[in-house]
Amino acid sequence: MRLVTFQAAGEAARAGAFIESDQAVLDLRQAAQTVHGGSADALASILALIEAGPAASELARDLIARAPRAAVRERSAVRILAPIQPPPQMRDASCFELHLRQSYAAARRARAARTPDPEATLKAMNTRSDERAIETFLRQPIYYKCNRFATIGVDDDVVWPGYSKALDFELEFGFYLGARAKDVPKEKAREYIFGYTIFNDISARDAQAVEMGGMLGPAKGKDFDTSNVMGPCLVTADELPDPYNLNMVARVNGEEWGRGNSRDMYWKFEDVIAHVSRSETLHPGEFIGSGTVGNGCGLEQMRYLKPDDVVELEVEGIGLLRTRITQP
């Protein structure tokens, strides 16, 4: 299934599914009421569907197959939000070693470029702190918690934060949990994944560069309204049986800026679930991102976004997440 949260003008957000090659949206709750009657509370939202368990998913699949016309909306007539907006919890992991190494190298080049002799400065730089971070990455999955209230969907614009002059995108994908999870062994972790979506982790690189020296992780470098772009839909796990061989491409204004493949993940999602769930209960609908694929952001190329740029992130099997960057 290709599940969405959508909103028509003047209406509350509703649970739906893309149909007709993503050109139409089926209102799942209205479809259930049309076919079966009743309140269909399990289909009131995508989160409610996940929390209701396998029976609700099977009901949704049956309704998508039937697609009663009374419950079908034209794609152009509705606004698509993030699949769950906001999710109950949101974390972003770091699963791609290449991105980590290239980002640290780019940050060093940027610092050196501000000195009278960049080449000499670069050669003299102490890289030990970067090396320690990579050593930690290689020992265990690492992650931070995001501002879940900053999520937006494919039909919304990113609003440039007023304190930044260096805005960047990040090409990621991630998963939603399908059940409560605690102390999950890696071997069983895939069973807890409900589905996947694309994640554009918009980042204020200048703010991030300052605050990361505090050793508490990103804050205003990541947290501002509209910074977490997710979509275009939630693809259920049964439709994406191998999430570790997906081509991933980033374009800005139609120009390709980077590409990678999920096969390059050093840590798989199963590793992340096993790590995060140690002595901690995770809940249905929580989102965990993959971190940026190698070559999947402007920082790695020393390039940044400009107002009115259009960023397209495409992940094989999930779709295209297209976002415009606007000024306040």
Do residues 94 and 76 both lie within one domain? no
The mean pLDDT value for 280-306 works out to 97
* Structural domain harbouring 241: 90-326
- pLDDT over 80 (residue 311): yes
Which pTM value belongs to this model? 0.96
The pLDDT value given to residue 122: 83
| Cα 270-274-275 angle, rounded to 5 deg | 115
> Lowest mean pLDDT: which of 25-34, 202-211, 244-253?
202-211
Number of domains in the chain: 2
Residue ending a domain, among 59, 80, 101, is: 80
54-66 vs 28-35: helix crossing angle, rounded to 10: 80
The pLDDT value given to residue 270: 98
The pLDDT value given to residue 128: 83
Do residues 50 and 25 both lie within one domain? yes
pLDDT digits 0-9 by tens, 170-180: 999 999 999 99
**Edge-to-edge strands of the sheet including 158-159?**
158-159, 319-326, 310-315, 247-252, 255-261
Contacts of 261 (CB under 8 A, 6+ apart): 245, 246, 247, 248, 293
How far, in Å, are 63, 229, 251, 312 from residue 324 at the CA level?
33, 11, 12, 9
Cβ(323)–Cβ(126) below 8 Å: no
The mean pLDDT value for 202-206 works out to 96
DSSP one-letter string for 249-299: EEEETTEEEEEEEGGG-SS-HHHHHHHHTTT--B-TT-EEE--PPTT-BSG
Confidence of residue 109 (pLDDT cuts 50, 70, 90): confident
Do residues 116 and 198 both lie within one domain? yes
Do residues 70 and 94 both lie within one domain? no
Confidence of residue 129 (pLDDT cuts 50, 70, 90): confident
Do residues 44 and 101 both lie within one domain? no
pLDDT digits 0-9 by tens, 62-86: 999 999 999 999 999 999 999 999 9
Tell me if 213 is assigned to some domain.
yes
Burial of 67 (0-12, 13-18, 19+ CB in 10 A): middle
CATH of the domain at 55: 2.30.30.230
The token pair at 296 is 């999947």
What is the chain's mean pLDDT, rounded?
96
| Cα 236-239-241 angle, rounded to 5 deg | 105
pLDDT > 90 in the chain, percent: 89
Q: For the chain, what percentages of helix, strand and coil (3-state, to nearest 5) are there? A: 35, 30, 35
